Structure 1
Amino acid sequence: MRSPVAISLPSPTDAARKVADLAMSVEVMRKRKLFNPLRLDEAIRSSIDVMRYGPFAGVVLHAAHRNPSAPAIIDEIGTLTFKDLDEQSSALARGLQAEGITEGTVIAALCRDHRGLVLTMVAAGKIGARLVMMNTGFAKPQFADVTAREGVKAVLHDGEFVGLLDAIPRSIPRFLTWVDESDGADPRTPTIYDLIGKQSREKVSAPGKPGGMVILTSGTTGTPKGAPRDRVSPMQSAQFLDRIPLPSNETMFMAAPIFHGTGLSQFTIGIALGNTVILRRKFNPEETLRGIAEHRASTLVVVPTMLQRMIDLGPEILAKYDTSSLKVIFAAGSSLSPDLCKRTADIFGDVLYNLYGSTEVAVATVATPAELKKAPGTVGKPPVGCRVVLFDDEGKRVTKVGAVGRIFVSSGLSFGGYTDGRNKEVIDGLMSSGDIGHFDADGLLFVDGRDDDMIVSGGENVFPLEVENLLADRSDVHEAAVIGVDDRDFGKRLRAFVVPGPDSHRDPEEIKQYVKDNLARYKVPREVVFLDELPRNATGKLLRKNLAEIAID
Structure 2
Amino acid sequence: MKVAHAVEAVKAIGLLRTRGVTDPRKPLETLRTIKESQVFGPQATSVRHSARVTPDAPALVDERGELTYRQLDEQSTAIARGLRAAGITQGTVIGVLCRDHRGLILTMVAAGKLGVRVALMNTGFAKPQFAAVCEREHVEAMLHDSEFLGLLDALPPELPRYLTWVDEGTEIPEGEQSLDDLIAANSTEPLPNPSKPGGFIILTSGTTGLPKGAPRSKTSPLATAQLVDLLPFPKGGTQVIVSPIFHSTGLATWLVGATLGNKVVLRRRFDAEATLKMIADNKAEMLVAVPTMLHRMTELPAEVRAAYDLSSLKSIVLAGSALSPELSTKAAEVFGPVVYNLYGSTECAVATVASPQDLALAPGTVGRAPITCEVRLYDDDGKRVTDVGVTARIFIRSGAPFEGYTDGRHKQIIDGYMSSGDVGHFEEHGLLMVDGRDDDMIVSGGENVFPQEVENLLLERPDVFDAAVVGVDDAEFGKRLRAFVVAEPGHSPDADEIKAHVKENLARYKVPREVVFLDDLPRNTTGKLLRRVLVEYDVKA
TM-score tier, shorter chain, comes to over 0.9
1:7 aligns to what?
Answer: none
CA contact (8 A) 2:42 2:218 kept: no
Match in the other structure for 2:408: 421
2:81 aligned partner, one-letter code: R
Contact 2:373 2:397 in 1 (8 A): yes
Say whether residues 1:300 and 2:287 are aligned partners: yes
1:52 paired residue number: 39
What does 1:354-365 correspond to in 2, within 5 Å? Answer: 354-365=341-352
Q: CA deviation at 1:396?
A: 0.7
Aligned-residue Cα RMSD (Å) equals 1.1
Identity rate of aligned residues, in percent?
58
Is the Cα contact below 8 Å between 1:111 and 1:158 reproduced in 2? Answer: yes
- Corresponding residue SS for 1:286: helix
String of CA shifts for 1:281-334, please: whole Å, max 9, x gaps.
111111011111111111000011111111111212212211111001010001
Partner of 2:16: 29
Amino acid at match of 1:165: L
1:483 is the counterpart of 2:470: yes
Question: Counterpart amino acid of 1:284?
Answer: D
One-letter amino acid of the structure 2 residue matched with residue 111 of structure 1: C
- Could you say what secondary structure the match of 1:452 adopts? helix
What's the counterpart of residue 262 of structure 2? 275
Distance in 2 (alpha carbons) for counterparts of 1:187 and 1:73: 30
Q: 1 CA distance for matches of 2:27 and 2:519?
A: 55
1:334-345 alignment, distance < 5 Å: 334-345=321-332
1:373 to 343, 360, 367: 360
- The answer as to whether partners of 2:222 and 2:400 remain within 8 angstroms in 1 is no
Pick aligned residue for 1:438 from 416, 425, 432: 425
Q: What is the rounded CA distance, in whole Å, between the counterparts of 1:25 and 1:236 in structure 2? A: 9
Q: Does 1:460 align with 2:447?
A: yes
1:468 and 1:482 in contact (8 A); partners too = yes
Deviations 1:18-50 (A, max 9, x none): 212112212221221111122222211111121
1:210 partnered with 2:197 = yes
* Partner AA of 2:444 in structure 1: S
Native 8 Å contact 2:522 2:533 kept in 1: yes
Q: CA deviation at 1:549?
A: 2.2
- The 1:384/1:71 distance shift into structure 2, 3 A limit, reads same
Distance 1:267 1:330 in 2: 12
| 2:168 aligned residue | 181
Query: Is 2:95 the counterpart of 1:108?
Result: yes
Structure 2 runs not aligned, ≥5 long: none
- What amino acid is the match of 1:311? T
What's the CA shift for 1:17?
2.0
Q: Give per-residue Cα distances to partners, 1:446-486, cap 9 Å, x unaligned.
A: 00000000000111000000001111111121111110001
Q: Per-residue CA shift, 1:238-272, capped at 9, x if unaligned? A: 10111111111111111111100010000110111
Equivalent residue for 1:97, pick from 84, 106, 119:
84
AA at the equivalent of 1:332: A
- 1:215-258 deviation line (CA, Å, top 9, x unaligned): 00114112111000113222320101111111111111111111
Structure 1, unmatched stretches of 5+, are 1-12
Aligned to 1:389, which of 352, 358, 376?
376
Amino acid across the alignment from 2:377? L
Q: CA deviation at 1:440?
A: 1.3
Q: Choose which of 166, 180, 193 in structure 1 pairs with 2:153.
A: 166
Mapped pair 1:504 → 2:491: yes
Aligned position for 2:105: 118
Q: C-alpha displacement at 1:399, in angstroms?
A: 1.0
Which of residues 340, 364, 370 is equivalent to 1:353?
340
Counterparts of 1:380 and 1:334 in 2: how far apart (Å)?
15
> For 2:517 and 2:306, how far apart are their aligned partners in 1?
29
SS of 1:109's equivalent in the other structure is strand
Residue in 1 aligned with 2:120?
133
Which residue pairs with 1:6 in the alignment?
none
> 8 Å contact 1:536–1:542 — kept in the other structure?
yes
Q: Which amino acid aligns with 2:489?
A: P
Pick aligned residue for 2:216 from 229, 232, 240: 229
1 CA distance for matches of 2:103 and 2:218? 25
Instruction: Please name the residue that 1:254 is paired with.
Output: 241
- Could you tell me whether the CA contact under 8 Å between 1:30 and 1:36 is conserved in 2? yes
Secondary structure of 1:48 counterpart = helix
Of the three residues 85, 98, 101, the one matched with 2:72 is: 85
- Aligned counterparts of 2:339 and 2:173: Cα–Cα separation in 1: 44
Q: What is the identity, as a one-letter code, of the residue corresponding to 1:518?
A: N
Report the AA paired with residue 479 of structure 1: D
Instruction: Find the residue that maps to 1:382 and give its secondary structure.
Output: coil
From 57, 78, 93, the counterpart of 1:70: 57
Distance in 1 of aligned mates of 2:336 and 2:205 = 30
Secondary structure, aligned partner of 1:181:
coil
Provide the secondary structure at the position in 1 that maps to 2:225.
helix
> Normalization by structure 2: what TM-score?
0.98
Equivalent residue letter for 1:540: G
- 1:50·1:233 contact (CA, 8 Å) conserved in 2? no
Instruction: Give the letter aligned to residue 236 of structure 1.
Output: A
Contact 2:342 2:354 in 1 (8 A): yes
Looking at structure 2, the residues matched to 533 and 32 of structure 1 have their Cα atoms a distance apart, in angstroms, of 41
1: CA distance, partners of 2:50 / 2:534: 45
Q: Residues 521-532 of structure 1 correspond to what in structure 2 (within 5 A)?
A: 521-532=508-519
Tell me the secondary structure at the aligned position of residue 376 of structure 1.
Answer: coil
| 1:503 to partner: Cα distance | 4.5
Count of aligned positions: 540
1:184 is displaced (CA, Å) by 4.1
Query: Does the CA contact (< 8 Å) of 1:51 and 1:233 recur in 2?
Result: no
For residue 389 of structure 2, the aligned residue among 382, 402, 407 is 402
| Residue of structure 2 equivalent to 1:540 | 527
Q: In 2, distance between residues paired with 1:20 and 1:189? A: 53
Distance 2:264 2:82 in 1: 26
1:183, 1:109 → 2: CA distance? Answer: 19
> Any idea what SS the aligned residue of 1:54 has?
helix
Deviation at 1:395, TM superposition (A): 0.6
- Residues of 1 paired with 2:170 and 2:74: CA distance? 28
Which is further off, 27-36 or 269-278? 27-36
- Of residues 299, 306, 321, the one that matches 2:308 is 321
Is 1:448–1:466's contact at 8 Å kept on the other side of the alignment? Answer: yes
Q: Alpha-carbon deviations, 1:130-178, whole Å to 9, x = none?
A: 1000000000001000100000000000000000000010111000011
Does the residue aligned with 1:371 lie in a helix, a strand or coil? helix
Per the alignment, residue 9 of structure 1 pairs with: none
